[in-house]
């Protein structure tokens, strides 16, 4: 992740940007940090409270999401609740948010939906990915992972999407939007959280993502987004196959 200096409530901070220099905005908020040192906490500031300052785009050492600090962690901070426990209003709001996000993607971008699943954690696991190319074609893939954790399934699904893009010879210069319902994956691969486990898998994905113009987005799962539901079906097919290994 790259950073530029910005002003937030009278203080100078670092704000996260894409490789082309545009601020990273998710749900009206932008990742910020108060220090350029390794391990510093990364917060999410309201877009309206942040003013970008003149200066160059820089690479900074990895930080740690403030949301991973137990005292700061707030379940359901998205306001959408959790899958299987959402109210009707929360589900409707989550679906609307995802639909608005997807509608704003550039028409020349490849749009990917990824999901992981397991029966038990760890347990028989699988990954699924759906890739929609700008020409309208849709590519799908699933993988059975044997016994693994849900997080491994979610991470592996990102790799499946990248595999499909590579095989389709989709140009590394074109935009790629990846939607995941895993805050763990989003934090690690988009916000630069420090990896405490699955480090080899994460390092490999980060290297592959650096070779493309990719942005990851968190979307709520199981709210009726067709491609997301399909990725879930594929991941569960991987679980079924893993159970027979």
- Positive or negative torsion for Cα 44, 46, 47, 51: negative
Catalytic, out of 116, 128, 192, 238: 116
| Residue from 181, 190, 221, 227 carrying the catalytic annotation | 181
Alpha-carbon distance 42 to 109, whole Å? 28
Active site residue 104: no
C-alpha neighbours within 13 Å on the C-beta side of residue 156: 22
Q: Which of 146, 163, 222, 229 is catalytic?
A: 222
Query: Is 232 a residue of the active site?
Result: yes
Query: Could you give the CA distance from residue 145 to residue 168 in angstroms, rounded to a whole number?
Result: 23
222 tagged catalytic: yes
Query: Which residue out of 154, 177, 190, 227 is catalytically annotated?
Result: 154
Q: Which of 26, 63, 115, 192 is catalytic?
A: 115
Q: DSSP letter string over 18-86?
A: -TTS-B--BTTEEEEES--STT-EEEEEEGGGEEE-S---EE----EEGGGSTTT--TTTTSS--TTT-
**What are the catalytic residues?**
115-116, 154, 181, 222, 232
């Amino acid at each position: 992740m790259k950073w530029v200096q910005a002003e937030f409530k009278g203080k100078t901070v670092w704000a996260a940007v894409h490789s082309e220099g545009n601020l990273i905005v998710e749900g009206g908020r932008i990742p910020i940090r108060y220090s350029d040192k390794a391990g510093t906490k990364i917060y999410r500031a309201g877009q309206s409270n942040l003013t970008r300052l003149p200066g160059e785009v820089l690479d900074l050492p990895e930080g740690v999401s403030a949301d991973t600090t137990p005292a700061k962690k707030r379940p359901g901070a998205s306001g959408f609740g959790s899958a299987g426990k959402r109210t009707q209003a929360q589900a409707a709001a989550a679906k609307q948010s995802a639909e608005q996000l997807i509608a704003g993607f550039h028409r020349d971008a490849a749009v990917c939906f990824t999901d992981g699943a397991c029966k038990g954690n760890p347990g028989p696991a699988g990954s699924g990915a759906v890739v929609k190319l700008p020409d309208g074609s849709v590519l799908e893939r699933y993988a059975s992972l044997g016994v693994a954790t849900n997080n491994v399934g979610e991470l592996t699904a990102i790799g499946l999407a990248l595999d499909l893009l590579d095989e389709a010879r989709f140009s590394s210069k074109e935009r790629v939007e990846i939607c995941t319902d895993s805050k763990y994956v989003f934090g690690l691969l988009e916000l630069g959280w420090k990896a405490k486990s699955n480090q080899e898998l994460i390092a490999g994905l980060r290297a592959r993502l650096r070779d493309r113009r990719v942005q990851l987005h968190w979307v709520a799962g199981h709210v009726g987004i067709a491609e997301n539901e399909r990725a879930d079906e594929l991941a569960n097919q991987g679980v079924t196959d893993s159970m027979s290994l």
